[in-house]
Amino acid sequence: MKRGLVLGALLALGALAVVKAQPPDPNAPKVVTVDKVKDNLWVLKGGGGNTAVFATANGVVVVDAKNPGWGTPILNKIKELTPKPVTMLINTHTHGDHVSGNVEFPATVDVVVQENTKANMEKMDIFKQNNNRGMAKRTFKDRMTLGKGADQIDLYYFGPGHTNGDAIVVFPALRTAHIGDLFASKGLPLVDGANGGSVLHYPDTLNKVHAGVKNVDTLINGHSDTTTTWADLKEFADFNQDFLTWAEGALKSGKAPEAAAAEWKVPAKYTGYSSQVSTLFGGVAGRLTRLQEEMKK
Ligand SMILES: [Zn+2]
């Protein structure tokens, strides 16, 4: 019980750090920038996680809605791209920098998430404070197909990683997918244990994505500045496997998480990988602590 309280306090600190990293100054201009990925698919950057905008025959599907206050800037930017109405919103996972803007979308918009993500979203204050506006309306467990032909979207869930509800959103006609924070960028991924994330299963989950999803060339990542490739996903899975192998070895040798963490660095073969590790969720030591808990189960 006491341990749970301490963990809760640490997570609260983590949540504060998120806010600190992007101060919610209501007067600061909310600038959304646009990258065109395909003729009817764009990435909207700024204000949290990357947002995908997919124009179908009858409406616009949005993937992820950024930090609090960024829903309206997203909707305004979409009006510059297409006259079609926004009809659907998909969230890749529960984090505040991906779902908070949901509450600013019209109440008629369909909201679709993985079922564990809905349970995680139900714990968030922002939805309670907004009368449940923007809350998930439909869920899937492992797989769901929406629409057909050029408009088809396939949703997949392959197991725990960044959280226990990381959806892969595939646009098959465009050979492109939004992979959210399961592959946020080239660097050590964050693992949110309180929302079911797993250091132990992370590489497996990535390998299942790589083996289980076909005909995708381009990935929209949760936080990277540019898109990545299917080959980058395999490399990222290997990077996470190498991290896990190292971490298991360090813990088995009896090292404490803090001591082991100080020794970790990006293996030289992973060129272009960031050596900056966020302190969210306890940094490298936090990942080792999470792994230690998982290894005891
Ligand atoms: Zn996240």
199-243 pLDDT, tens per residue? 999 999 999 999 999 999 999 999 999 999 999 999 999 999 999
Chain centroid offset of residue 81 CA:
24
| Beta bridge partner(s), residue 34 | 44
Identify which of 262, 280, 186 has the alpha carbon closest to the alpha carbon of residue 224.
186
According to the model, what pLDDT value does residue 297 have? 83
| Spacing, Cα 191 to ligand 1 middle (Å) | 8
CB 99 within 8 Å of CB 124: yes
CA distance 12 to 162: 17
| Spacing, Cα 127 to ligand 1 middle (Å) | 17
| Spacing, Cα 89 to ligand 1 middle (Å) | 17
| Beta bridge partner(s), residue 52 | 43, 63
CA distance 271 to 278: 19
| Spacing, Cα 285 to ligand 1 middle (Å) | 18
| Spacing, Cα 32 to ligand 1 middle (Å) | 19
CA distance 233 to 219: 8
Identify the band that residue 24 occupies on the pLDDT scale cut at 50, 70 and 90. low
Q: What pTM was computed for the model?
A: 0.91
| Spacing, Cα 74 to ligand 1 middle (Å) | 19
| Spacing, Cα 107 to ligand 1 middle (Å) | 24
| Spacing, Cα 57 to ligand 1 middle (Å) | 30
14 φ, ψ to 5°? Answer: -60, -45
CB 43 within 8 Å of CB 70: no
Q: Could you report the per-residue pLDDT of 102-127, keeping only the tens digit for each?
A: 999 999 999 999 999 999 999 999 99
CA distance 101 to 75: 10
| Spacing, Cα 55 to ligand 1 middle (Å) | 25
| Spacing, Cα 162 to ligand 1 middle (Å) | 7
According to the model, what pLDDT value does residue 13 have? 45
Here the tokens at position 121 are 């979203």
Give alpha helix (H) positions in 61-201. 71-81, 96-99, 115-121, 125-129
CB 199 within 8 Å of CB 250: no
| Spacing, Cα 2 to ligand 1 middle (Å) | 26
According to the model, what pLDDT value does residue 27 have? 76
| Spacing, Cα 263 to ligand 1 middle (Å) | 25
| Spacing, Cα 149 to ligand 1 middle (Å) | 30
| Spacing, Cα 163 to ligand 1 middle (Å) | 8
Question: CA separation (Å) from 164 to 178, 197, 214?
Answer: 17, 5, 22
CB 15 within 8 Å of CB 7: no
| Spacing, Cα 216 to ligand 1 middle (Å) | 22
According to the model, what pLDDT value does residue 148 have? 97
| Spacing, Cα 98 to ligand 1 middle (Å) | 7
| Spacing, Cα 95 to ligand 1 middle (Å) | 5
| Spacing, Cα 247 to ligand 1 middle (Å) | 22
Q: 7 CB contacts (<8 Å, ≥6 apart)? A: 193, 194
| Spacing, Cα 189 to ligand 1 middle (Å) | 9
| Spacing, Cα 183 to ligand 1 middle (Å) | 10
Q: Could you report the per-residue pLDDT of 238-296, keeping only the tens digit for each?
A: 999 999 999 999 999 999 999 999 999 999 999 999 988 889 999 999 999 999 999 99
| Spacing, Cα 83 to ligand 1 middle (Å) | 30
Q: Is the dihedral of CA 107, 110, 112, 116 positive or negative?
A: positive
Chain centroid offset of residue 202 CA:
13
